[in-house]
Amino acid sequence: MTRVLVTEFMDGSALAFLKNRVQVDYVPDLFERHDELLQRVETADALIVRNRTRVTSDLLAAAEHLKAIGRLGVGLDNIDQQAAAIANIQVLPATGANAIAVAEYVMSAMLHLRRPMTTGFQAMVGGDWPREQFIGGEISGKTIGLVGFGQIAQFVALRAAAFGMRIAYFDPYLTSENTALGALRSRSLDELLAIADCVSIHVPLNDETYRLIDSERFAQMKTGAILINTSRGGIVDERALIHHLKTGHIGGAALDVFEDEPLDQLRGAQFEGIDQLILTPHIAGVTHESNHRVSQVTAENVLRALGYE
């Protein structure tokens, strides 16, 4: 019987959908045990992963029957795509299924950084009335600079425009301008950073984008601008960000992704003492709704690749 190995958490209804058609080996913490993963993948016809399973060339070499890799998400930097192509294994991301979740995360992070209302709770219940401390600022009339202008970035642009923001973007891989929502295409990343009040990252991690936003690029940003990264951690130089947050040049940041994940206590300690900072554990694209969509799309992609229509 056709066998599908799932190594990270997946929505229950999508699992049931799979189990009605194929044998499913669901071990949502298997990514933590590489030797066992190598053993189990030997007889798998398809593999389903999120971002913590390292699909390396040695793993693919052990997977003699593997025909497809379903990715519960869109980032593919944890999968050796070249090795998969050589082995004629299809790599199937759940394109678009988590776009709404990421876009709403970006908007909520931006609103909170501009007007951090929840931080006043303790002062209020303690009898204080810190009005001046929590006045904050508006996003209407401000410019959001989108680094990359794929589907998720366009979903962010749509929501930002509804708040009265100006939309600017930089994406060297687009062959034509996208004038929807009055979006302004920047000629370079440096030009975008110079005009943006909020910079949101929407590019994959590769050799070209590793530490794309470094100390020099932070220095080019407007004083008080904020940064949001929901893409991949290695794109932003975390030490440089911390430095510019502490000097006040950068007005705030939201990081959902980190160069080394999961973030341990030692690496987490470097962010201590910074008020205008949101840190979340790579969950921007994960909501109850998006998890269902991503899981269902992935299940359908894998079944289709295995010949189940």
Catalytic residue among 232, 238, 244, 293: 232
Is there a single domain that holds both residue 25 and residue 125?
Answer: no
Is there a single domain that holds both residue 41 and residue 184?
Answer: no
Is there a single domain that holds both residue 257 and residue 228?
Answer: yes
Check residue 50 and give its pLDDT: 96
Residue 23's domain comprises 3-95+289-305
58-80 tens-digit pLDDT: 999 999 999 999 999 998 999 99
Is there a single domain that holds both residue 121 and residue 264?
Answer: yes
Mean pLDDT (whole number) for 82-99: 96
In the predicted structure, residue 309 carries a pLDDT above the cut 80: no
What CATH number is associated with residue 179?
3.40.50.720
Is there a single domain that holds both residue 192 and residue 63?
Answer: no
The reply to whether 131 belongs to the active site is no
Is there a single domain that holds both residue 248 and residue 297?
Answer: no
Catalytic residue among 50, 217, 244, 282: 282
The reply to whether 282 belongs to the active site is yes
220 located within any domain: yes
Is there a single domain that holds both residue 171 and residue 261?
Answer: yes
The reply to whether 159 belongs to the active site is no
Is there a single domain that holds both residue 131 and residue 261?
Answer: yes
87 with 81: CB under 8 angstroms? no
Check residue 207 and give its pLDDT: 93
284 located within any domain: no
Check residue 36 and give its pLDDT: 96
Instruction: Provide the token pair at 234.
Output: 């290695």
265 located within any domain: yes
Catalytic residue among 261, 267, 292, 300: 261
What proportion of the chain, given as a percentage, has pLDDT over 70?
A: 100
Is there a single domain that holds both residue 43 and residue 139?
Answer: no
Count structural domains, the chain: 2
- Per the prediction, the chain carries an average pLDDT of 95
Query: Which of 66-75, 121-130, 163-172, 277-286 is least confident?
Result: 121-130
Is there a single domain that holds both residue 46 and residue 79?
Answer: yes
205 located within any domain: yes
